[in-house]
């Protein structure tokens, strides 16, 4: 079954939360990465490679993507969805 992801806004207009129907980040600790970090998590690596993404925070079945101030969600959202598809196909 393909991954299903629900996007929802957060109180921060530069952050969007993506909740999946499966575990994205294993373990009891949260994961936080910023652009330029050396990342070995497949989804985190894909998301940070996207133009306009500044950093991400993940735990369990969700990841919050923070965009750069001058980036536009309209161009980032389809890329985030494609990143999920590439990692969890």
Give the confidence band of 43 by pLDDT, cuts at 50, 70, 90.
very high
* Degrees, nearest 5: CA angle 58-63-67: 110
In this predicted model, what pLDDT tens digit does every residue of 24-41 receive, in sequence order?
A: 999 999 999 999 999 999
Phi, psi (degrees; rounded to nearest 5) at 77: -55, -50
The 3-state DSSP class for residue 89 equals coil
Which tokens sit at 5? 């992801």
The domain tally of the chain equals 1
pLDDT over 70 percentage in the chain:
99
CA atoms within 13 A on the CB side of 71: 19
In this predicted model, what pLDDT tens digit does every residue of 52-66 receive, in sequence order?
A: 999 999 999 999 999
Dist CA 15 CA 55 (whole Å): 9
Quote the domain boundaries for residue 81. Answer: 5-87
Q: What CATH number should be reported for the domain holding residue 43? A: 3.30.1370.70
């Amino acid at each position: 079954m393909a991954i299903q992801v629900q996007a929802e806004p957060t109180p921060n207009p530069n952050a969007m939360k993506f909740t999946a129907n499966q575990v994205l980040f294993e373990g009891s600790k949260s994961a936080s990465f910023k652009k330029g970090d050396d990342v070995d998590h497949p989804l985190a690596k894909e998301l940070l490679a996207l133009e306009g993404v500044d950093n991400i925070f993940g735990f369990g079945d969700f990841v919050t993507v923070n965009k750069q101030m001058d980036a536009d969600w309209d161009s980032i959202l389809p890329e985030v969805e494609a990143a999920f598809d590439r990692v969890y196909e």
